[in-house]
Structure 1
């Protein structure tokens, strides 16, 4: 006997943009109604169905009831850091798996930009996941311990923003959560298209996609996502060290990666953000800083040095000392004139810091999270 899930296909997220446009087109319904539906769900996060959406054609209501749900994911828990700057969301997907998204709040009045006091107040950045688990297997990242389980649909990516909007008005989005975004490329592009359209209206300049260096995806990134920021998890200045700490680097040799980044920058003229996790005795010596400086001296880049966050007693890595981080930064800045920052750590008390993202099921207690560069808007050059 067939199971109910086999007999009755699951309804799709109303935020699966390509699917709902296709279904509306086939039914002869104008696509201009779709942003109105999204706006209704955003403003009515606990709506059980889509019958309350105003001013739709009768055929649209029937189609929505038959094939779509307002959201297919459920917000299971929301944990706040002690200083309340970080909120970690555990989200259960329709297939029973879970992912995490992290809201980070920045008070702009406490900092300066370009040497001048900043106006404004608190603004929020959302770190989203693109996959359940990850294929890349980076040895310093807890997500890699999960292995790869599944890609998120574009709707499941967008729903993380919908859930987060209950807690904060999101201004920036970074794809730095679970998974390698470039390995879920079509859903990535589609989700960002929703983020930048009505009703979300995020600026593409306030969206950042982080990758370990998927060369073929970088080659088409600018054409598909113009003005969106590209961040590269480099983490080492030579191929041997990269392969030791990032097994996936074997498939993307450093020379080919740098050629792809140079081509991308020639076409886009955009700053590239370089993420570099500081591992004691592995990649944090002055010689490594000189290697990195020489590697990047022809680029318009910002290097973000990331203090390593412990991912459990089994980790073989230790955090670089503050002294080594400062020496490293001094070389990159002072000798190679490359803008270099040290990542502001947020959410460590709720395991919401960089590299700690992992979900433990079936008990649904999360032991991980994610984080961002300091504040992406501070990196405008």
Structure 2
């Protein structure tokens, strides 16, 4: 009678940091070798062979063959905008689901600083996803229409940067793609710890995490991720409007959220970035600007006004007029002295703009390729 042995567990990503460190420790192999493996995969993203990693102990090669793959996700499609400033990546995960990441290229010399041309040159920001879908259900956000499907592992989050590195040298990372990062907190922290160590060596000051306001996670954010930027998707200056456009806000009352942000700022001494999507007739009137100004007047904050991108013809919201956006900005700047910017729209021809990141994959048996409907709820640099 044949034995019914269970199949071996699926191979894990070498970028699942806690898992690979645990396996190396159990095998008596120094964790100092792990960044060498990451460096090799980063520099050879198309190689599927971990035996080619140089200078490891023999026991490490045996362990890698038995339990790990260089990456568990695959890059399915890369769509580039006509002006070549934006590249949207469709990435298939090992569970068969897909997420999107977006590379945005900025030429810092095109702006002015103190009336003089800015130094520097082209730099790239990567917008990454933390979940497939999202539980938050924001009514203006395409990802919210998907519902929640699954969390990404820390390795799957890091792998988005590995895939993107084939196209650009990434300088900044923003967690503003699909999902609510603070609802996948442990994987988020682990991924950022990998990204700020060797071989990636990203500065934590060049990493921004955007949240709708998960209070219990904000309370531990500075302790776990010091020097990382926090962006809050506020989108309304009072609780009623917030609940209307962001149903999850009922669980995070505005007063308690602002208290948590004040405690965070007192502890971290860092500027808080406020994301505010401009919805015609909903939250874009002058009185709303005054309400927002009063709400933020005790904070060191930067407000980023985001032009709304309608999600298909069925959207119940409309884009604010340029005139209303300018009036809103003028109130915040002129009366409340709050630094206020207006989001630069990028990648709209490839559905890579704000509020449009949702993955739609047709039935592959029909012979159709992947269709990108897309959805990034927020992008900030």
Query: Contact 1:343/1:374 (CA < 8 Å) preserved in 2?
Result: no
Mapped to 1, the partners of 2:380 and 2:142 lie a distance apart of 30
Query: Contact 1:353/1:370 (CA < 8 Å) preserved in 2?
Result: no
- In structure 1, the gaps of 5 or more residues are none
Q: Using a 3 Å threshold, how does the CA distance of structure 1 residues 190 and 372 change in structure 2: closer, same or farther?
A: farther
The worse-fitting range, judged by mean Cα deviation, of 357-366 and 196-205 is: 357-366
Answering whether residue 248 of structure 2 is matched by residue 262 of structure 1, we say no
> 1:304, CA displacement in angstroms?
0.2
Mapped to 2, the partners of 1:371 and 1:215 lie a distance apart of 36
Report the number of matched residues. 381
- In structure 2, the gaps of 5 or more residues are none
Query: Contact 1:104/1:124 (CA < 8 Å) preserved in 2?
Result: yes
> 1:116, CA displacement in angstroms?
3.3
Q: Using a 3 Å threshold, how does the CA distance of structure 1 residues 380 and 141 change in structure 2: closer, same or farther?
A: closer
TM-score (structure 1 length as normaliser): 0.94
Q: Using a 3 Å threshold, how does the CA distance of structure 1 residues 377 and 76 change in structure 2: closer, same or farther?
A: closer
Mapped to 1, the partners of 2:272 and 2:241 lie a distance apart of 21
> 1:119, CA displacement in angstroms?
1.4
Mapped to 1, the partners of 2:249 and 2:368 lie a distance apart of 24
Question: What does residue range 1-381 of structure 1 map to in structure 2 within 5 Å?
Answer: 7-363=7-363
Query: Contact 1:100/1:369 (CA < 8 Å) preserved in 2?
Result: no
Query: Contact 1:105/1:122 (CA < 8 Å) preserved in 2?
Result: yes
> 1:364, CA displacement in angstroms?
7.5
SS at structure 2 position matched to 1:150: strand
> 1:365, CA displacement in angstroms?
13
The worse-fitting range, judged by mean Cα deviation, of 266-275 and 309-318 is: 309-318
Q: Using a 3 Å threshold, how does the CA distance of structure 1 residues 370 and 218 change in structure 2: closer, same or farther?
A: farther
Q: Using a 3 Å threshold, how does the CA distance of structure 1 residues 81 and 6 change in structure 2: closer, same or farther?
A: farther
Write the deviation string for residues 300-322 of structure 1: whole angstroms up to 9, x where unpaired.
00000000001111110000000
> 1:108, CA displacement in angstroms?
1.1
> 1:49, CA displacement in angstroms?
1.9
> 1:112, CA displacement in angstroms?
2.0
Q: Using a 3 Å threshold, how does the CA distance of structure 1 residues 325 and 162 change in structure 2: closer, same or farther?
A: same
Write the deviation string for residues 54-99 of structure 1: whole angstroms up to 9, x where unpaired.
1111110010011100000000000000101000000000000000
Query: Contact 1:356/1:367 (CA < 8 Å) preserved in 2?
Result: no
Write the deviation string for residues 186-229 of structure 1: whole angstroms up to 9, x where unpaired.
00000000110000010000000000000000000000000000
Query: Contact 2:143/2:377 (CA < 8 Å) preserved in 1?
Result: no
TM-score (structure 2 length as normaliser): 0.94
Cα RMSD between the aligned structures? Answer: 3.9
Write the deviation string for residues 13-57 of structure 1: whole angstroms up to 9, x where unpaired.
000001000000000000000000000001111111200011111
SS at structure 1 position matched to 2:51: coil
